């Protein structure tokens, strides 16, 4: 079994280095054709202490925002129950389940776009998939819970692997992110996750300095060597606040600039709070960068 998995892993890396296309990823009833356009992921924060001030306190509020995002053209929705801002107090599995599962259950029968669950806890991920989620988004890239890769393999769902340096800050950020993401990809392949179901995220804002965050966006194209679609999450983040000296609710233009530059650098998905405006930014950026 191990030899078979290792051969599959080696074949996947050879495919990545050959420069072949990213192919397609199936997520529920949706197929993402990477490279044709940029896909927009709408953020649904069901945590009261979200850094961006957009926390949703009730299931009805989350459903209403999700429907608005769908009406605005969003391609996927990401439901998260625990704040990921620096120094946020962790919550229990039971509390995260209480926040996330009712929202996923309601949305699974109401919206046509795929639902992602933003969690690094195995039980929350498992229950969310049972409730109707179709994608996993792990901000720790399997560092906290390697079993998420096995879960993604068993349920045949895509998994987003983020590079997070909050546990160990580094000096040379791009090589560190590349190494960390390769580690997470290898773990996923070894667990049986299909190559096509792996998505990577450099983790802007997670254990990086302002200069490192800016450098990651500037050098995003270097992540293409990994051979997998790239998700970029810069929406309303502190690097924008530090540059512009503005609170989260006033970071729209800064977000737009970072997303446009990210798309030029190879972003395949952008994770955003302001769907309507960032759909427009993505469409215009695609017209220039992809010629579509």
For the question of residue 110 being annotated catalytic, the response is no
The phi, psi pair for 232, rounded to 5°, reads -120, 125
* Active-site residue identified among 143, 236, 237, 251: 237
Return the structure tokens found at 98.
């209480």
Smallest Cα–Cα separation from 83: which of 195, 206, 262, 258? 206
What angle do helix axes 93-108 and 59-71 make, rounded to 10 degrees?
Answer: 50
> What phi and psi values does residue 176 have, to the nearest 5 degrees?
-65, -40
**By the 8 A CB rule, do 44 and 78 touch?**
yes
Whether 271 is a known active-site residue: answer yes
**CB within 8 A of 64, min separation 6: which ones?**
none
Start-to-end CA distance of the chain, whole Å, equals: 44
Catalytic choice (271, 276, 283, 292): 271
Buried b (16+ CB within 10 A) or exposed e, 249-269: eebbebbbbbbbbbbebbbbb
Q: Which residues are marked as active site?
A: 237, 271
């Amino acid at each position: 079994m191990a030899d078979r998995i290792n051969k599959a892993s080696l074949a996947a890396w050879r495919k990545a280095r050959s420069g072949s296309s990213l192919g397609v990823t199936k997520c529920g009833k949706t197929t993402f054709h990477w490279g044709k356009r940029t896909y927009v992921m709408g953020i649904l924060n069901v945590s009261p202490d979200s850094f961006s001030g957009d926390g949703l306190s009730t299931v009805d509020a989350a459903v209403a925002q999700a429907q608005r995002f769908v009406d605005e053209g969003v391609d996927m929705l990401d439901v998260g129950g625990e704040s990921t801002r620096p120094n946020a107090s962790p919550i229990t599995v039971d509390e995260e389940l209480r926040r996330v599962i009712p929202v996923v259950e309601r949305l699974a029968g109401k919206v046509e776009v795929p639902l992602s669950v933003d969690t690094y806890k195995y039980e929350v991920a498992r229950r969310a998939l049972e409730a109707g989620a179709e994608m996993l988004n792990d901000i720790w890239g399997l560092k906290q819970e390697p079993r998420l890769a096995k879960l993604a393999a068993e349920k045949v769902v895509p998994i987003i692997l983020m590079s997070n340096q909050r546990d160990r800050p580094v000096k040379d950020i791009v090589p560190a992110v590349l190494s960390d993401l390769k580690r997470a990809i290898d773990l996923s392949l070894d667990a049986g996750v299909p190559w096509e179901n792996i998505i990577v995220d450099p983790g802007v804002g997670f254990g990086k300095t302002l200069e490192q965050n800016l450098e990651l966006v500037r050098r995003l194209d270097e992540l293409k060597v990994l051979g997998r679609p790239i998700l970029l999450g810069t929406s309303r983040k502190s690097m924008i606040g530090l540059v512009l000296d503005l609170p989260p609710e006033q970071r729209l233009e800064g977000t737009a600039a970072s997303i446009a530059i990210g798309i030029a650098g190879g972003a395949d998905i952008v994770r955003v709070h302001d769907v309507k405006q960032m759909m427009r930014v993505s469409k215009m950026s695609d017209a220039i960068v992809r010629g579509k």
